Amino acid sequence: MNVHTPPTGKPAVPNLPAPPQPHAFHYAGGPTAILLIHGLTGTPAELKLVAKGLARAGYSVYGVQLAGHCGSEADLTATGWKDWLASALEAFDRIRQDHDAVFVGGLSMGALLALLVASHRSDRVAGCLLYSPTMFYDGWSVPRGSVLLHAAILFGLGRFFRFRENFPYGIKDDRLRARVQAAMESGRSEEAGLLYMPGRSLAQLLYLIRDLKPRLPALRMPVLVLHAREDDVTSIRNANYLAAHLGGNVEKILLENSYHMITLDQERELVIDHSIGFLKRTEPRRLAPPSLSLALTRGRS
C-alpha cells in the first residue's frame, strides 16, 4: 500500500525517541513544526513527499516510525495500539521542546493517532492534519462481510487471520501502483509496508478506534480532513463522521482523482497546497500575542 520515494536532499538527522528509528525523518524549517504519523503496516516513507512540500513552505517536519513497523509481521504483532500511541507521544514531546507550535498529522490510522495525541496533549497541539482517516474499513475494494470478520477479530480470533493488501493498493496512478506492488511483494517493508496485515494488528486498530470515539467531542483544536471521494479502503463516511463528531472547527476537503494513499497519489500536490493553506490560516491565531488575537477577532466582527 505504501512506497518509498527517495528525497531530493538528505534529511536532517531525526531528533526522535529511543529505541532507534532508522526510518524516521526530519526536514528542518522554521519555529512551527509538524509531526506526521504513518498508517498501520506502513512506513514513514508514505509521508515524505508531503513532508518535503511542507518543509519548502518553511515548516519543520518530522516523521515518526511507530513501534513494530518497518520490520516483519512478528515485529508488528509484538506491539499494540498503546505502543504506537507511545511512539507518537514521545516524538511529540521531544519536538515540542524545540518549537513554538506543533501541528500533528497522519495518514489512515496515523490520522487517528494524531487525534489521540491531541487528546493527550490538548493544550499543546496547534491543530491536526488528517489524511484519509480510517474509522471504518468500508471502501469499495474492501470485501463484503468484513463487518462480521471484524466482530470475530474483536472476540479474540485475530490470531487466526492475516489479510493481503487488495488491488489497487490505495493508488490510482498506474505507474506508481506498479512500483508499490513490486516493493511490497519484494518484502522490503521499510520502503513499502507489509503486504499482509495480521489479524491481531487489525484488532489493535479496532481497540484504538474504540478508545478514540468518546474523546472526539472534547477535541476543539482546528482540524483539516482531506479524503478522496473514490477512496478504495475507507469511504467518505469516515471524513463525514469526524466532521460531525469533533468538537472544534473542521475543514473537510474531498479530492476527486485519488484513492486511499492521497499523500502519494495523483493529487499529492493538492494535499500539500491545502495543508499549507490550513496551516497559514490557523497558525497566526495560535502564535499571535493575546492583545493582537483580540484585535484580530474584533476586526472580523
What are the residue ranges of helices labelled H in the chain?
Answer: 48-56, 73-77, 81-96, 109-120, 146-152, 174-185, 189-192, 199-212, 237-245, 268-287, 290-300
The Cβ of residue 63 has, within 10 Å, a number of other Cβ atoms equal to 29
Quick one: how far is CA 55 from the chain centroid? Answer: 17
Structural domains in the chain? Answer: 25-300 (3.40.50.1820)
Query: Residues 17, 89: contact at Cβ < 8 Å?
Result: no
Residue 207, all three cell numbers = 481497540
Cell of 201: 494488528
Residue 271 cell numbers, joined? 494535499
Burial category of 219 from C-beta neighbours within 10 Å (exposed 0-12, middle 13-18, buried 19 and up): buried
CB atoms within 10 A of CB 151: 11
Please tell me the predicted confidence (pLDDT) of residue 212.
Answer: 99
CA gap 101, 124 in Å, rounded: 7
Model pTM above 0.85: no
Query: Is 26 strand, coil or helix?
Result: strand
Query: What is the DSSP code string of 244-266?
Result: HH-SS-EEEEEESS--S-TTTST
| Contact call for residues 82 and 109 (beta carbons, < 8 A) | no
Amino acid 6: pLDDT: 31
Identify which of 47, 52, 81, 53 has the alpha carbon closest to the alpha carbon of residue 67. Answer: 81
Q: What is the pLDDT along the chain (301 residues), one digit of tens a residue?
A: 333 333 333 334 334 444 567 789 999 999 999 999 999 999 999 999 999 999 999 999 999 999 988 788 888 889 999 999 999 999 999 999 999 899 999 999 999 999 999 999 988 999 999 999 999 988 988 866 555 565 666 666 656 566 777 788 889 988 988 887 777 766 555 655 567 778 888 889 999 999 999 999 999 999 999 999 999 999 999 999 999 999 999 999 999 999 999 999 999 999 999 999 999 999 855 544 444 333 333 334 3
- The three state secondary structure string of 91-106 is HHHHHHCCCCEEEEEE
- Known catalytic residues? 108, 231, 260
